[in-house]
Structure 1
Amino acid sequence: MLNRRKMLQTMAAGAGSALGFSLLPERLLAMPKLKETPKRIVFFMQNQGFDPATCIPEGMKRSGSLAKVKLPEPISPLEPYKERMHIINGLHGIHTSPSHSAFFGALGGYRGSDGVPPSAATIDYELSKILPQTLLPHLCIGMDSMENMTTKPTIATLSASGAGQPIFMHSNPNHLYQMLYGGISTGNIRRHHEARSNVFNQIEKLAASKGTSLPTADQQRYGQFVEGFKEVNGLRDRLDSVADHLRKFAPKVDGRYTSPEHETDWHDVLLDLGISSLTSGITNTLTIGSGRGEIFGAWKGLGIEQQGHNLGHMEQPGNPIWIKIRQYNSRMLVRIIEALESVPEGSGTMMDHTLIVYTSNNADKQHTSGANWPVMLLGNFDGAFKTGCFTQLDGKRPINSLYATLLEAAGVPCEHFNMNEKLARKFDSGSGPLQELLV
């Protein structure tokens, strides 16, 4: 049974971490007017592996243009957008020991395992610090079975802000909607939002006043939890301050939120919330975990009765189940593209300044060694990346080199992302960005 102090610590840690920001006030800036291009990035991580045969056009063995080839059936919804696509094959993640999943190592480029805390910040968080600041620099959403999303509405398996500092994913769209748009809502959503806000305000005051009586060794740790509540309350206040702006972007709440027929209803509205956080300017970095970085996952709404670990033991190429799942993912990617294309920005649209990274948290398949880690990019990040092409690498450069490339495109040169010299000598045949990907 939790005592009051333990309960407060758990609530504060979960609240601050679930929002995806460090406990520093300057990390939450109220949508400043910026001179630089407001770039943004989306990571879509599917569990159970990403078999290269499900994304590489048939007969394509060498790097080349996608213009005259047909995309494989699993990603066929992306056919109209293949001129904006870059398919990459031949990266590796052997050093992450992925097997069922690399967990934090998939986006961190280091050894990961079930229940093992992150050893460094992941690439999505690092980019969220570099890109133009927003109200909520980094948002993570996770999609799973209805049971898992209900019993564990937040979970941390993929993203981290530093060593031992996981970032939680939101899996209950009702909770996430209250956090993002509770201040502009009516009815039960508004009442729940106000009740939750009052509780958090009271806890912050109580925690701040009681913490001074603790031993010196505990005061610093306790202070972090107090800061967690301050950040939650501060974010709410900042969102409320731009309420008129947010009303233009808030998704419509319907029965899929409160009475979902299948888990895919929640998947769909979670995606709506993620998209709205981008188009409204709430965030510039969105991480989507389909399967939430674990070995579970369900898609009964697609007519698929099998779920969980069993899906990972099925061959993906030509498998009607995995064709449905991958096409569902592809349609989600299309929804993101279409939404960002509909919003003017600069001389073009939001999509012109966005990059979508689609891959898996355990390389090419379940029980993988990580020797091949396929990736799809969509968009060019304000002209930084080549598009409409396929690149075949030789398997000697790690996923870390892709992340170094993303940092380069964001304006921060990086030789070896999350790799010391010893690891780099062993696992990376080169250094710096992958020039094959950049314009």
Structure 2
Amino acid sequence: MDFSNFIPKHMEKRGKIVLEENLSILNKILKQRSIPDEGIKEELIELLLYNLSLMDTDKDPKAIRIGEREARVYTKLQERSVFYFNHGVGRSGNLIDPQPKAPGASIMYKLTNQLLESFLKKLGLKVNAIATPVATGMSIALCLSALRRIYRVEEIVYPFAAHKSPIKAISLVGLRMRLVETKLYGDVVKAPVEDIERAIKKGNSAVLSTLTFFPPREEDVVEIAKICEEYNVPHIINAAYAIQNNYYIDKLKKALKYRVDAIVSSTDKNLFTPIGGGIIYTKDQKFLREISLSYPGRASANPIANTLISLLAIGFKKYRELMKEQKESKKLLEELLEELAKKINERVLDVKNPIASAITTKKDPVDVAGKLYNLRVTGPRGVRRGDKFGTSYLGVYPYNYIGVNASI
């Protein structure tokens, strides 16, 4: 841009220094394509997004848009809601393919995926990754659809868990579900690995395992990955909020040494985005592309842009600090619950979970959680011992309990 002859030369020179210093931050992001160590200012992120959006064809002031059906937006409010990427991302045949009418949005999506991969690699997960414009359940459905198309899978072996989204994902894709019932081991509810193995042997199947749970459920995804490798069975892991804690990251690193076709996590649970985005990651780049082929049509750019914003605004150094704070918060939560349990003659469930804890109650747990909700405490989850879905146990669990989270 030419700023000459507006102001004295020395002032112009000084102004350009400031401008170039700020723009160099964005140029460094575009050049290195890696999550920054330090988060960058929102004003710069907004500048990046807006400038990329100006590359899309609906912003061309000389375009003749006769017959155009798309990106005809009625209000600026609608444009701002998608960060001016009115054409969205992807093509009808592939979510991650560049869109001819949206060069800027296509660059934004590619940059997001590259930053996401660098972020996961810095956490120790050497994987390929894509951000998805749909939340965890629908992202799982995309993975299952790819499995069905490539491997002719007919049913999904699903160790029972109190998560409705994966069950609905299986149904949406049109696959049968072979449920593996859980058993009780002290306070822990777990699907026996030998039962999962038996279920695998019964048909042309894949396994959908779960890494992150509400207490009292646990699952050994590493052992499941070993079995899937032994029997050459596809394996998807639902790891909704795993990225924020090293305990889960270590589990994933070990599982990835065996058969894991893809892992799904949530952007809202890990990256502080609004609900509606997912992360799919895998060592198999070809399979990742097949997953992207499962998405029908183009997608809103909003969830993708939100993922990019979080990665740029937080930065890796701050994210590490947040992970440390989460671990400290969980320790404090456990101490306070133990203290409370002694006072009211209850007990904290002995379940290995780095995010959530649960305390027994002789009162109606749903009523207790409801009262807490009305007191504006919105996190606790009350589960009655006879709630077969809530406890992830088809028998009667020994206790009523309240679950409390200490997430990032």
* TM-score, normalised with respect to structure 1: 0.26
Q: Which has the larger radius of gyration?
A: 2
